[in-house]
Amino acid sequence: MAYYYVFGAATLSVLIGCSGVRVLDRTDGDEVSIVVDTSRSLGSMISSGKYDWVHPDITAEHFPAGNASWRRLNIKLISFRRDMQPYEVLYELRRLNLRAATLPELLALGEARPDLQKSHSIVGLESIWKDDFGDRWFPQLDYDFNRRNLDLQPINFAMFDKNYRFAAVERQLN
């Protein structure tokens, strides 16, 4: 059975406890104001983004909707000056009082600013899908062969170079 989950505080506390994680230089890129409307279906959010290709596993079954809401927020596009693994990115985002963007937030960004993914792949590490084989996948906006893509990439062996952008939002403190 496949399921979807979000990196939560427990996961991050484990990641933060990892040894060997260094504080890294980063470059702040664009900050984009978007509206996220999770009362819309996933299919509607994808259609509004006008992607040329969508990974067939980006479905409502694999990424079920959370609470229906409407909110305005600022997405920050963060990049780093060296190759990084996903846990290092999550550690650094948390240190900056940010969290990775969810799939609906990433889709809202792609709809609002379709040009951004033409220069860099944009990753949303908050929404992860685990397939039947135990492999975990994250969504990303990318561009190749003159096509805007909404893709899934395996997180298990991911290594992000300095050309990736990580969509992030400010963490809400409870």
Determine if residue 115 is left, alpha or beta; phi over 0 gives left, psi from -120 to 50 gives alpha, anything else beta.
alpha
CA distance 88 to 151: 22
What value, to the nearest 5°, has the Cα angle with vertex 40 and ends 61 and 106? 75
First-last CA distance in the chain: 32
Is 162 buried (19+), middle (13-18) or exposed (0-12) by CB count in 10 A? middle
3-state class (DSSP) for residue 156: coil
CA distance 53 to 32: 23
pTM for this model (two decimals): 0.82
What's the domain range around 20?
Answer: 3-170
What are the pLDDT digits (tens) for 95-111? Answer: 999 999 999 999 999 99
- When pLDDT is cut at 50, 70 and 90, the band that residue 174 belongs to is low
Q: How many domains is the chain partitioned into structurally?
A: 1
What are the pLDDT digits (tens) for 58-114? Answer: 999 999 988 888 999 999 999 999 999 999 999 999 999 999 999 999 999 999 999
Helix H or strand E segment including 31: strand 26-37
